[in-house]
Protein backbone atom coordinates (compact mmCIF):
# COMPACT_ATOMS: atom_id res chain seq x y z
CA UNK A 1 0.00 0.00 0.00
CA UNK A 2 1.42 3.34 -1.07
CA UNK A 3 2.36 5.67 1.77
CA UNK A 4 3.30 9.33 2.01
CA UNK A 5 5.39 10.91 4.75
CA UNK A 6 6.08 14.56 5.48
CA UNK A 7 9.45 15.82 6.67
CA UNK A 8 11.05 19.15 7.42
CA UNK A 9 11.94 21.61 10.17
CA UNK A 10 9.53 21.86 13.05
CA UNK A 11 10.46 25.45 13.81
CA UNK A 12 10.72 28.35 11.37
CA UNK A 13 11.45 31.99 12.19
CA UNK A 14 9.02 34.73 11.17
CA UNK A 15 9.66 36.17 7.68
CA UNK A 16 11.66 33.09 6.68
CA UNK A 17 10.69 30.28 4.30
CA UNK A 18 8.95 27.09 5.40
CA UNK A 19 10.14 24.07 3.40
CA UNK A 20 8.60 20.61 3.61
CA UNK A 21 9.06 17.43 1.63
CA UNK A 22 6.66 14.55 1.13
CA UNK A 23 8.23 11.19 0.35
CA UNK A 24 6.18 8.60 -1.52
CA UNK A 25 6.93 4.97 -0.67
CA UNK A 26 5.70 1.65 -2.04
CA UNK A 27 4.54 3.39 -5.19
CA UNK A 28 5.60 5.85 -7.86
CA UNK A 29 4.96 9.55 -7.97
CA UNK A 30 5.32 9.41 -11.75
CA UNK A 31 1.80 8.45 -12.70
CA UNK A 32 -0.81 10.37 -14.62
CA UNK A 33 -3.43 8.60 -12.52
CA UNK A 34 -2.80 10.63 -9.40
CA UNK A 35 -2.35 14.13 -8.06
CA UNK A 36 -0.59 15.15 -4.88
CA UNK A 37 -1.71 17.72 -2.36
CA UNK A 38 -0.77 19.76 0.68
CA UNK A 39 -3.29 20.58 3.41
CA UNK A 40 -2.70 22.29 6.74
CA UNK A 41 -4.47 22.50 10.08
CA UNK A 42 -3.72 25.20 12.67
CA UNK A 43 -3.81 23.95 16.26
CA UNK A 44 -7.38 23.27 17.33
CA UNK A 45 -8.80 24.44 14.01
CA UNK A 46 -10.07 23.03 10.73
CA UNK A 47 -8.46 21.96 7.49
CA UNK A 48 -7.18 24.29 4.76
CA UNK A 49 -6.22 23.15 1.26
CA UNK A 50 -2.90 24.71 0.25
CA UNK A 51 -2.60 23.33 -3.25
CA UNK A 52 -2.11 20.35 -5.55
CA UNK A 53 0.54 19.21 -7.98
CA UNK A 54 0.86 16.62 -10.73
CA UNK A 55 4.06 14.70 -11.50
CA UNK A 56 4.25 16.72 -14.70
CA UNK A 57 4.73 19.78 -12.53
CA UNK A 58 1.31 21.35 -13.10
CA UNK A 59 0.21 23.16 -9.97
CA UNK A 60 -3.00 24.53 -8.49
CA UNK A 61 -2.75 26.82 -5.48
CA UNK A 62 -5.22 28.25 -2.99
CA UNK A 63 -5.55 31.91 -4.05
CA UNK A 64 -5.25 32.97 -0.42
CA UNK A 65 -1.69 31.60 -0.33
CA UNK A 66 -0.72 31.70 -3.99
CA UNK A 67 1.68 34.62 -3.71
CA UNK A 68 3.74 32.80 -1.08
CA UNK A 69 3.48 29.13 -2.08
CA UNK A 70 5.56 27.04 -4.46
CA UNK A 71 5.17 23.30 -5.01
CA UNK A 72 7.51 21.07 -6.96
CA UNK A 73 8.06 17.42 -7.81
CA UNK A 74 11.32 15.45 -7.84
CA UNK A 75 10.57 12.24 -9.67
CA UNK A 76 14.12 10.94 -9.18
CA UNK A 77 13.59 10.98 -5.42
CA UNK A 78 9.88 10.09 -5.54
CA UNK A 79 9.15 13.25 -3.57
CA UNK A 80 7.17 16.44 -3.82
CA UNK A 81 7.79 19.62 -1.90
CA UNK A 82 6.16 22.71 -0.46
CA UNK A 83 7.68 26.12 0.15
CA UNK A 84 5.88 28.95 1.91
CA UNK A 85 7.70 32.27 2.00
CA UNK A 86 7.46 35.16 4.46
CA UNK A 87 5.87 33.06 7.17
CA UNK A 88 4.09 34.49 10.19
CA UNK A 89 2.55 32.96 13.30
CA UNK A 90 -0.59 32.37 11.24
CA UNK A 91 1.30 29.72 9.28
CA UNK A 92 1.78 27.64 12.43
CA UNK A 93 -0.02 24.37 11.71
CA UNK A 94 0.17 20.66 11.14
CA UNK A 95 0.99 20.18 7.48
CA UNK A 96 -0.29 17.09 5.69
CA UNK A 97 0.62 15.71 2.31
CA UNK A 98 -1.84 13.47 0.52
CA UNK A 99 -2.72 11.70 -2.75
CA UNK A 100 -5.86 11.66 -4.83
CA UNK A 101 -6.86 9.88 -7.99
CA UNK A 102 -7.07 11.58 -11.36
CA UNK A 103 -9.25 9.91 -13.99
CA UNK A 104 -8.36 12.24 -16.82
CA UNK A 105 -10.60 14.54 -18.88
CA UNK A 106 -10.95 16.86 -15.92
CA UNK A 107 -12.29 14.18 -13.61
CA UNK A 108 -10.61 13.42 -10.32
CA UNK A 109 -11.37 12.13 -6.85
CA UNK A 110 -10.87 12.95 -3.18
CA UNK A 111 -7.66 12.68 -1.19
CA UNK A 112 -7.59 9.08 -0.05
CA UNK A 113 -4.03 8.56 1.19
CA UNK A 114 -2.68 10.96 3.81
CA UNK A 115 0.58 11.32 5.68
CA UNK A 116 0.54 11.50 9.45
CA UNK A 117 1.31 15.22 9.33
CA UNK A 118 4.16 17.32 10.61
CA UNK A 119 3.84 20.21 13.04
CA UNK A 120 5.49 23.47 11.98
CA UNK A 121 5.74 26.31 14.46
CA UNK A 122 6.60 29.82 13.36
CA UNK A 123 8.37 31.58 16.19
CA UNK A 124 11.51 33.54 16.86
Partner 1 sequence: EIVLTQSPGTLSLSPGERATLSCKASQSVSSNYLAWYQQKPGQAPRLLIHGASSRATGIPDRFSGSGSGTDFTLTISRLEPEDSAVYYCQQFFTSPWTFGQGTKVEIK
Q: Please give the residue ranges that form the binding site for partner 1 (CB under 8 A).
A: 39, 46-49, 52, 60, 62-64, 96, 98, 100, 107-112, 114-117
DSSP 31: -
* Residue closer to partner 1 (CB basis): 13 or 109: 109
- Tell the smallest beta-carbon distance from residue 124 to partner 1 (Å): 27
* Residue closer to partner 1 (CB basis): 10 or 46: 46
Bridge partners, residue 36, by sequence: 53, 99
Q: How far is CA 64 from CA 1, 48, 67, 92, 107, in A?
A: 33, 10, 8, 16, 24
- Tell the smallest beta-carbon distance from residue 96 to partner 1 (Å): 6
Backbone angles phi, psi at 106, to 5 degrees: 80, 10
- Tell the smallest beta-carbon distance from residue 88 to partner 1 (Å): 20
Amino acid sequence: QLQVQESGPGLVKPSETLSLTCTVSDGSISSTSYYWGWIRQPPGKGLEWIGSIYYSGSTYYNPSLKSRVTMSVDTSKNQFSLKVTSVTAADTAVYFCARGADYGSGSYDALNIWGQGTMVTVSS
